[in-house]
Structure formats: C-alpha cells, structure tokens
Amino acid sequence: MLAAAIVFMIFIAVIAVLVGSVISTVVNGVSTGSRWPVFLGAGILVIIGLRVLGSIARRSWRPVGSLIDTAGRLADGDYGARVDVRAAPSMRAVGTSLNALGERLEMADDRRRQLMSDLGHELRTPLAIIRGEVESVIDGVRDGGPEQMASLLDEIEVMERLLEDLRVLSMSEGGKLELQLEKGDLLTLVAEVADSYRPMANASGVRIRVDAPADPQEVELDPVRIRQSLTNLVVNALRAMPDGGELRLALREDANRTVVDVIDTGIGIEMDILPQVFERFSKSSDSDGSGLGLSIARSFVRAHGGDIEISQTGPAGTTMSMWIPR
C-alpha cells in the first residue's frame, strides 16, 4: 500500500510539472502575441487530460471487471472462481463476500456429488439382489414362489426406507419439516423407547437402565420426531455393543433445557469418522446401517431448537447428549 501511494504521488508530480510547463508556454505565447504556442499548449493539455482520465478509468474499471468476470464464472458453474482482493483494494469487501459465496457454492456442490455417490453405493446392493433373483426366475433356476417374492419385497423395503430417510432429512435441513408440537413428558418417551428395545438388548447381553429425576418438567416437542431421534441413538448405541454391556438413558435438567444422555459401554467411535459422525452416510467400516440415523436424529432435535453432542467416546464407551430447550 505504501509503495503504491509513493508511485501515485510521483505520477501526480510529473503531471503537475508537465501541466506547469504547458501553461508557461501558453502564457509566453500570449505575451508575445504568437498563437501557435497557445494552440500547442491547449492540445497538449487535452492529450494529458485524456490520458489521465483514461488511466483513472482503467484503474477504476479493472476491479469492477474482475468482479463481473468472477460472478459470471460462478453463474456458469465454475465454483472455483475467485476475486484477487489484493489487486482490487477498493472492492475488497465486495470481493471477499463474492469469494465466500463461491466457497459455499463449491462446498454445496461437493456435498451434492458425494450424496449422489453415497446414494448410488447404498442402492447398489439391494438392486443387485433384486436383479439376481429376477434373472434366476427368467432362467428357470428358481420358480419365483412366495418365499422368493418375500425376499425381493424385503430389499424393496430397504430402498424405500433409504429414500424416505433422505426425503425427511432434506426437508428438515431445509427448514421445511412441519413439527406437531405439544407439551409432553420426555421421560415417558425415553421409557417407551427403552422398553421397546429391551428384548433386542437382552438378546445381545446388554442391560438397559433409565435414570431420571422424580418429577421432570414438561417440554414442548413433537413426540413422533423426538421418539425417532431417541430410537436412532439407542440403535446406534446397541450396535456398538455386540458382545454385551450396559446402555444407560439418563434424563437430567439444567438451566433452561432438558437433557437425555445416551451412555453405552461399547467400542467407541473411530477417530477418523468422529468429525463427520453426524454427516450423511457416515459410518464405521463394519457397520451394516445406512449411515443416516445420527444425521436424522440431530436434524429433528435441531428443528426443536436443541442439539445432539458427543460428550465423550473411547474404548470404554460413548456418551451422546440430546437436549431440548424448555
């Protein structure tokens, strides 16, 4: 900036000297009665003025042209286009905002591509099974009886659940999910979810325990969505304890919110996926789930103004805390 200011001052000084010389020539011509110095001086002044105006116009238009070019490239889908804010200090604020917009568009496009790739991967297995079963019927290898049709129906239901989960998740993230809010007892939902999964937990050697205050306060919630969020957290915890353990659902109240801690004694979350554990299709290498459960649970809770956080994770287990404002 200092160097540019010095160069500009030198440029102004040179122009001032030239203009002074021209004016001196014109004055001398007028005093001597000669006309050609007057015409020559006027012409030189016009030329200098045009050059100065042209230089100023180019310096002013260059950053504007850069902004227009970058905006056009972004509109054409080139989300890597950026404005060189160092070369356009007068437009730095606008250029920085345009660059931030480009970064968000680029991230959104990357997520869209990743989503399509993950969706194709998740649908490939059930589609391959359905194709194999249909081809076996066409080739006469199998008769296509009720048992085979039932297996095909199972795979179709897997795809339907996956697509429905994605639809609901997209609505929730886009703020278009309508909640049926009512005053309710969160402890009742916790107890119902625990009871519904207790047989599955017992079969895996997992003991489920519910802890709660004697008289918990009511909260405003959509019982269907919060039940699904709790269910997804419980299922995720049970998958982390294939060899048994304990799952504790602890309801507590602090400040202006009600918290449910889902505490397991499982294997913990792999460190390489921990930063993206709430992203779509994020799951461990040995998981048989779709990788959407935690994303859906968190989006539903956030729609209530709350959140789900990982309090701790490691070889001794994981604690996920779901909270809703009161």
What pLDDT digit, counting tens, does each position of 81-135 carry? Answer: 777 766 656 667 777 777 788 887 887 777 667 666 666 766 777 788 788 888 8
| Average pLDDT of span 191-198 | 93
- Domain span at residue 221? 182-325
> Looking at the structure, do residues 17 and 55 belong to the same domain, yes or no?
yes
Beta-carbon contacts of residue 186 (< 8 Å; ≥ 6 apart) = 216, 218, 219, 221, 226, 251, 258, 260, 324
Highest mean pLDDT among 11-15, 206-210, 307-311: 206-210
pLDDT value at residue 215: 84
Same domain for 48 and 133, yes or no, is no
Mean pLDDT for the chain overall: 77
Same domain, 157 and 255: no
Question: What total number of domains does the chain contain?
Answer: 3
* % of the chain beyond a pLDDT of 70: 72
Rounded to whole angstroms, what are the CA distances from 133 to 2, 112, 120, 278? 75, 32, 20, 35
| 106 inside domain | no
Whether residue 117 sits in one domain with residue 27: no
* Residue 1: pLDDT over 50: no
**CATH code of residue 120:** 1.10.287.130
Shared domain check, 271 and 219: yes
In-domain check, residue 245:
yes
pTM beyond 0.75: the answer is no
Mean pLDDT across 209-230: 91
pLDDT at 6 over 80: no
Do 93 and 127 lie in a common domain? no
Question: Do 164 and 186 share a structural domain?
Answer: no
